Amino acid sequence: MFTCSACGAKYNGQTPRWRCDCGHYLHFTSPGMFPKQELKQRPPTLWRYFEAFGIASRDNIVTMGEGYTPLVATEIFGQEVFLKLDYLCPTGSFKDRGTTVMLSKIKEWGIDRIVEDSSGNAGASVSAYAVRAGIQADVYIPAYTSAGKAAQIALYGAKLVRVPGTREDTTRAALAAAENAFYASHNWNPHFVAGLKSLAYEIAEQLDWETPDWIVAPVGGGSLFLGLYEGWRDLMDAGYVTKFPRLVAVQASNCAPIYAGWSQNLDDVPAIEKKATAAEGISIAQPVKGKDILKAIRATEGVACTVTDEEIWDTLPLLAHRGFYVEPTSAATPAAIKKLKAQGIIKDTDKVVVELTGFGLKATDKLIEHYSHLFS
Ligand SMILES: *Cc1c(COP(=O)(O)O)cnc(C)c1O
Ligand SMILES: [Zn+2]
């Protein structure tokens, strides 16, 4: 079931739809819950939580065995943490959690042609899953998008459309093309967030249903963050856990609308001035779901915080020295631990989970450029 985030209109979800008739985005409500006691017999993919995703028939599942990524204990900045290695999903980012469920629903709806706009990881993920499902995908990217990302999108088999101008121009072009195809945008599609709920389910299961004190996660458009929050709410409603973890929303200091809204105690995100940042995956100045993200932070007694590009570049090698190779966007999240500890927000004895979203190999060009002194 879908409920409009603005006017409250409800839709049964049986026919294709990506937003409300009033133009706002839709919330997804899980139709049921997975039976906890059966999980041990199920394969180790996120489809072990099938009942929560709103897919009617298992025949429509489009999967590459995504999810159930390792949760590994390590230490960073003197803090014991569990790293959630979501960069090990099939296309190299956590986006596959949302895409596998979104594309399964699109297949179930009988759609054979979609458009998506993205500048990176979501485009690669949608390309891979759509083509695998036999669905034609046109992925719109800004003309300035780096060659490596364009290559991954094109090689999976989507039709790549390069749009001159800004990121916003790309969205406009994709929306115009959506007159003749379904708009499968990861920022709008309610089943994308449904898939992200699996992150909450998995962390809970992997910690033997014990709630950590903190989950530290990046926020760009906020699908990941809201999936985490709504997934945990499902676990509470089902009685599978007894409390919420406090959620930390991490943003880049050069583009931090959620941090601005949170620190100024606002209900919605204010307009901000956006500057360039190494954390391109979370560089979103006007997140559509800003209000809900702020609510989720406050509902869990969480916090928002920012990290500078310098802190990101300093943290990436620290992770690599422990064997975890992530892209700059993904290093922003663990970078926040240093500040949160120094401010006494996270304590030595706290149980902390840190989400790692994107693989280092995604950004090889940037890593070569930035760390050239290490190997020249
Ligand atoms: C998309 C992305 C994010 C941000 O996720 P949202 O759901 O948009 O908040 C963070 N890290 C990486 C690597 C991403 O690709
Ligand atoms: Zn509405």
CATH number at residue 155: 3.40.50.1100
Residues in CB range of 13: below 8 A, 6 or more apart: 1, 2, 28, 54, 190
3-state secondary structure at position 249: strand
Same domain, 296 and 221: yes
| Confidence at residue 144, expressed as pLDDT on a 0 to 100 scale | 81
Q: Is the distance from CB of 103 to CB of 62 less than 8 angstroms?
A: yes
Check whether residue 224 and residue 347 sit in a common domain.
Answer: yes
> What is the per-residue pLDDT for 145?
80
| 42 part of a folded domain | yes
State the residue range of the domain holding 299: 71-94+191-374
Domain annotation covers residue 65: no
The pLDDT of residue 240 is 98
Please state the pTM of the whole predicted model: 0.97
Q: Within 6 Å (CB) of ligand 1, which residues are found?
A: 93, 95, 121, 218-225, 281-282, 327, 329-330, 357-358
Of 137, 159, 183, the residue that ends a domain is 183
Query: Domain for residue 57, yes or no?
Result: no
Q: Half-sphere exposure of 108 toward its Cβ, with a 13 Å CA cutoff? A: 22
pLDDT tens-digit map of 184-229 = 999 999 999 999 999 999 999 999 999 999 999 999 999 999 999 9
In the numeric block, which tokens belong to residue 83? 């790293």
**82 shares a domain with 6:** no
Ligand 2: centre distance to CA 272 (Å): 26
- Residue nearest atom 2 in ligand 1 by C-alpha distance: 281
List Cα–Cα distances, 235 to 42, 121, 142, 198, 297, in angstroms: 18, 28, 39, 11, 17
Protein residue whose Cα sits closest to atom 1 of ligand 1: 281
Q: Provide the 8-state DSSP code for 158.
A: P
Cβ-proximal residues to 369 (8 Å cutoff; 6+ apart), any chain? none
Residue with tokens 């989950």, as numbered in its chain: 215
324: left (phi over 0), alpha (psi -120 to 50) or beta: beta
Same domain, 151 and 211: no
How high is the pLDDT of residue 143?
A: 87
Distance, CA of 324 to CA of 331 (rounded, Å): 10
What residue type is assigned to position 228 of the chain? Answer: L
Determine, yes or no, domain membership for 355: yes
Model confidence pLDDT, tens digit, residues 47-61: 999 999 999 999 999
Do residues 159 and 294 share a domain? no
CA distance 340 to 8: 37
Q: In terms of Cα–Cα distance, which of 195, 128, 196, 198 is closest to 157? A: 128
Q: Are residues 76 and 149 in the same domain?
A: no
* Number of residues assigned to the chain: 376
**Domain stops at, among 183, 206, 224:** 183
CA-to-CA distance for 330 and 312, rounded, in angstroms? 9
**Number of structural domains found in the chain:** 3
What does R_g of the chain's alpha carbons equal in angstroms?
A: 19
The tens digit of pLDDT for each residue in 141-164 reads 988 887 888 999 999 999 999 999
Centre of ligand 1 from the C-alpha of residue 354, in Å:
14
- From 96, 134, 83, 140, select the one nearest 115 (Cα to Cα): 140
Yes or no: say if 212 and 79 are a contact pair by the CB < 8 Å rule. Answer: no
| Same-domain status, 80 and 216 | yes
The reply to whether 90 and 224 lie within a common domain is yes
- CA–centroid distance, residue 26 to ligand 2 (Å): 8
Kindly give the distance from the C-alpha atom of residue 251 to the centroid of ligand 2, in angstroms, as a whole number: 29
**Residue 164 exposed, middle or buried by CB count within 10 Å (0-12, 13-18, 19+):** exposed
Asked if residue 201 and residue 122 are part of one domain, the reply reads no
Q: Is there a single domain that holds both residue 172 and residue 301?
A: no
Question: Among candidates 302, 305, 301, 293, which has minimal Cα distance to 230?
Answer: 293
Domain assignment of residue 314, yes or no: yes
Out of 89, 121, 185, give the residue to mutate to test ligand 1, the one with the largest number of ligand atoms within 8 Å of its CB. 121
Q: Are 252 and 159 found together in one domain?
A: no
Q: Walk along the chain (376 residues) and give the pLDDT tens digit of each residue.
A: 999 999 999 999 999 999 999 999 999 998 899 999 999 999 999 999 999 999 999 999 999 999 999 999 999 999 999 999 999 999 999 999 999 999 999 999 999 999 999 878 999 999 999 999 999 999 999 888 878 889 999 999 999 999 998 888 999 999 999 999 999 999 999 999 999 999 999 999 999 999 999 999 999 999 999 999 999 999 999 999 999 999 999 999 999 999 999 999 999 999 999 899 999 889 989 999 999 999 999 999 999 999 999 999 999 999 999 999 999 999 999 999 999 999 999 999 999 999 999 999 999 989 999 999 988 7
62 within domain boundaries: no
Assess if residue 303 is contained within a domain: yes
> Which of the listed residues 183, 200, 215 is the one where a domain comes to its end?
183
In a domain, 253, yes or no: yes
Q: Say whether both 17 and 123 belong to one domain.
A: no
